[in-house]
Amino acid sequence: MEIGAGTARLHDGDDGATAGAELRAAPRFTLLIRAAKLVSAQGEFVCVIRDVSETGVSVRLFHALPACRQFALHMPAGSVYELESVWQRDNEAGFAFQNAVDVPQLISESGDYPKRGLRLGLCFPITVSTLSQRHAAVVENMSQQGARIACEGLLAIDQTVRIEAPGIGAAMREVRAKVRWRRDNHYGVVFDDTFTLGDFARLAAQLQAPALLGE
């Protein structure tokens, strides 16, 4: 393990327990349930930041950690931090920062981007129904509150629609939503009933890497 200027790096042969102990030895700043997303080769996943120091960060997940070494932590305000996996147990995991990190800035999320809801680049087919028609469509990205979809059917601004989409497990889920904007065949919809963070996280895992749910 080499630690310098707030950077922790792992090398082949490093002991995970030793690495975890060194991360825990740094002064830690508790974050109060800050949702973020972990991006890896297997997809984009929801996490909750538990604490952070100059050397690394620990998070809580809603499923097992993807079997990758390299991750990127995307904060809601737009900042991105390169990470390397250090340890995991149950649904918790610890990571080392690949580069020096300004911890107060990470905590306050002071940046050039306004704070916004957590959005994942999920892509999957859905059916959109109106009072008179049904259309095949595709979700292009999604948050707890809404989604961007591509649909060949013509939808009106403020129109109420029903969306049939995969749910948790094998069941389908029907969601009522309202159209908020339109650009060509792309639409932004807002859900009437929003997803809880846990359901959103598990749906993302099911769509990208269902083995992580361990069911």
**pLDDT value of position 148:** 97
**pLDDT value of position 165:** 84
Length in residues, the chain: 215
Rg (the chain; Cα; Å): 19
**pLDDT value of position 169:** 58
Rounded to whole angstroms, the Cα distance separating 51 from 116 reads: 21
Q: Under a CB-based contact definition with an 8 Å cutoff, are residues 131 and 91 in contact?
A: no
pLDDT in tens, 182-195: 999 999 999 999 99
This prediction's pTM: 0.80
Q: Under a CB-based contact definition with an 8 Å cutoff, are residues 189 and 149 in contact?
A: yes
Residues of the chain with pLDDT under 50: 1-14, 23, 111
Chain-centre distance for alpha carbon 168: 16
**pLDDT value of position 117:** 76
**pLDDT value of position 104:** 85
Which domains does the chain possess?
A: 2-108 (2.40.10.220), 119-213 (2.40.10.220)
pLDDT in tens, 130-177: 999 999 999 999 999 999 999 989 999 999 999 998 765 556 788 999
* 3-state SS track over 94-150: EEEECCCCCHHHHHHCCCCCCCCCCEECCCEEEEEECCCCEEEEEEEEEECCEEEEE
Q: Under a CB-based contact definition with an 8 Å cutoff, are residues 19 and 87 in contact?
A: yes
